[in-house]
Amino acid sequence: MFHQFRLQQIVHGGRVTLKDKSELRRRLTELDGTLDRYLAGDYGIDADKKSTFQKWKASHQPFHWFVHFYGIMLGGGFDVIIGNPPYLEQSKLKGMYGVRGLRTASCRDIYAWVVERAFGLRAGTARLGLIVPVSIASSGSFTAARDIVSAGTSKLWLSHFANRPGQLFAGAQNRLTILLSDSGGDHGEHVYSTRYHRWFGREGERDSLLSVMRYTQFGEPTRSFHRLYSKVGAPEAASILMRTLVKRSIGEQTVKQSNYLIYWVRVPGYFCQFFIDPPKARPEKGGPARLRGELNDICTSGEVNQRILHALLNSSTYYQFFAAYTDGRHINPSDVVDFPLDLDRFEPTVSKNLVLLSRRLEAGMRKHLSQSRKSGLLIDSVDSRAVKPILDEIDEVLAKHYGFTDEELDFIINYDIKYRVGAEDDSDEE
What global pTM score does this model have?
A: 0.86
Per-residue pLDDT tens digits of the chain, which is 430 residues long: 444 434 444 344 455 567 767 877 788 788 888 888 888 888 888 888 889 989 988 888 888 888 888 888 888 999 999 999 999 999 888 777 788 889 999 999 999 999 999 999 999 889 999 999 999 999 999 999 999 998 888 899 999 999 988 888 877 789 999 999 998 766 556 899 999 999 987 778 888 888 889 999 876 545 578 889 999 999 999 999 989 988 899 999 999 999 999 999 998 889 999 999 999 999 988 888 888 888 999 999 999 999 999 999 999 999 999 999 998 889 999 999 999 999 999 999 999 999 999 999 999 999 999 988 888 899 999 999 999 999 999 999 999 999 999 999 999 999 999 999 985 544 433 3
For residue 81, the tally of other CB atoms under 10 A from its CB is 18
Bridge partners of residue 82, in order along the sequence: 129
d(C-alpha 11, C-alpha 194), whole Å: 50
Per DSSP, the residues of 111-138 read HHHHHHHHHHHEEEEEEEEEEEETHHHH
The answer to whether 194 touches 286, Cβ cutoff 8 Å, is: no
| Among the listed residues 348, 377, 205, the one whose alpha carbon sits nearest the alpha carbon of residue 279 | 377
What pLDDT sits at residue 96?
78
| Among the listed residues 74, 66, 67, the one whose alpha carbon sits nearest the alpha carbon of residue 3 | 74
| Among the listed residues 214, 202, 223, 311, the one whose alpha carbon sits nearest the alpha carbon of residue 262 | 311
* Domains (range + CATH), the chain: 1-75 (no CATH), 77-233 (3.40.50.150), 244-422 (no CATH)
d(C-alpha 360, C-alpha 362), whole Å: 5
Q: Which amino acid is at 417?
A: I
Secondary structure element (H or E) that encloses residue 8, with its range: helix 2-11
What pLDDT sits at residue 107?
94
Bridge partners of residue 78, in order along the sequence: 122
201 φ, ψ (degrees, to nearest 5): -65, -35
The HSE-up count of residue 195 (CA atoms within 13 Å, CB side) is 19
The answer to whether 181 touches 127, Cβ cutoff 8 Å, is: yes
Q: What angle do CA 366, 372, 377 make, to 5 degrees?
A: 110
115 φ, ψ (degrees, to nearest 5): -60, -50
For residue 111, the tally of other CB atoms under 10 A from its CB is 24
Buried b (16+ CB within 10 A) or exposed e, 182-208: ebeeeeebebbbbbbbbbeeeeebbee
The answer to whether 219 touches 189, Cβ cutoff 8 Å, is: no
d(C-alpha 429, C-alpha 268), whole Å: 9
| Among the listed residues 358, 383, 389, 388, the one whose alpha carbon sits nearest the alpha carbon of residue 369 | 383
Sign of CA dihedral 407, 275, 256, 429: negative
What pLDDT sits at residue 187?
58
The answer to whether 252 touches 412, Cβ cutoff 8 Å, is: no
How far apart, in Å, are the Cα atoms of 337 and each of 123, 198, 273, 426? 41, 26, 15, 26
What pLDDT sits at residue 10?
39
The HSE-up count of residue 321 (CA atoms within 13 Å, CB side) is 24
The answer to whether 228 touches 137, Cβ cutoff 8 Å, is: yes
The HSE-up count of residue 188 (CA atoms within 13 Å, CB side) is 6
d(C-alpha 310, C-alpha 278), whole Å: 12
The answer to whether 201 touches 166, Cβ cutoff 8 Å, is: yes
Q: What angle do CA 200, 204, 207 make, to 5 degrees?
A: 110
